[in-house]
């Protein structure tokens, strides 16, 4: 499982890096008036949350195999709350254009949920293979 978690972390890092640069290129070249300086923080936040999710799921898959779905759902709730706090903090502290920030953040959140579901699927597949 350790090998799988390292592979998942590497793949996740690569995808987030590509998404970050692609998103910045699209925003910068197609919508230059909408580009904002805080953009790099969005992929960084999702990267850190994603890596921590992989680590938590990988560490708990043997000890708490029956509770893995519950752990996954709690992690999803925590991430949703953290995302809302991040958006509110941006709005109240930075006071920049929240509309563009919100749209970009929502796009990343949607992509991230898809990636996270794939990661959970691969971990569950590994659990069934080892059982």
For residue range 106-123, list pLDDT tens digits in order.
Answer: 888 888 888 888 877 877
128 vs 89 pLDDT, higher one: 89
Which pTM does this prediction carry?
0.75
Confidence check: pLDDT of 95 > 80: no
Angle between helices 2-30 and 41-60 (to 10 degrees): 160
Predicted local confidence at residue 59, as pLDDT: 79
Could you give the CA distance from residue 72 to residue 56 in angstroms, rounded to a whole number? 9
Predicted local confidence at residue 62, as pLDDT: 66
> What mean pLDDT is predicted for residues 20-38?
83
* Torsion of the alpha carbons at 15, 72, 74 and 20, rounded to the nearest 10: 0
54 vs 18 pLDDT, higher one: 18
22 vs 59 pLDDT, higher one: 22
Confidence check: pLDDT of 46 > 70: yes
Q: Six-digit token pair at 49?
A: 């949350």
Could you give the CA distance from residue 108 to residue 32 in angstroms, rounded to a whole number? 19
């Amino acid at each position: 499982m350790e090998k799988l978690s390292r592979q998942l972390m590497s793949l996740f890092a690569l995808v987030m890096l590509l998404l970050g640069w692609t998103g910045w290129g699209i925003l910068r070249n197609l919508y230059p008036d909408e580009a904002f300086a805080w953009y790099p923080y969005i992929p960084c936040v999702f990267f850190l949350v994603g890596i921590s999710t992989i680590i938590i799921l990988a560490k708990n898959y043997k000890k708490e195999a029956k509770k893995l779905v519950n752990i996954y759902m709690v992690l999803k709730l925590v991430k949703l709350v953290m995302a809302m706090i991040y958006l509110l903090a941006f709005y109240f502290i930075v006071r920049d254009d929240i509309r563009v920030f919100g749209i970009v953040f929502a796009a990343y959140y949607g992509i991230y949920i898809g990636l996270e579901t794939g990661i959970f699927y691969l971990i569950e597949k590994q659990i069934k293979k080892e059982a």
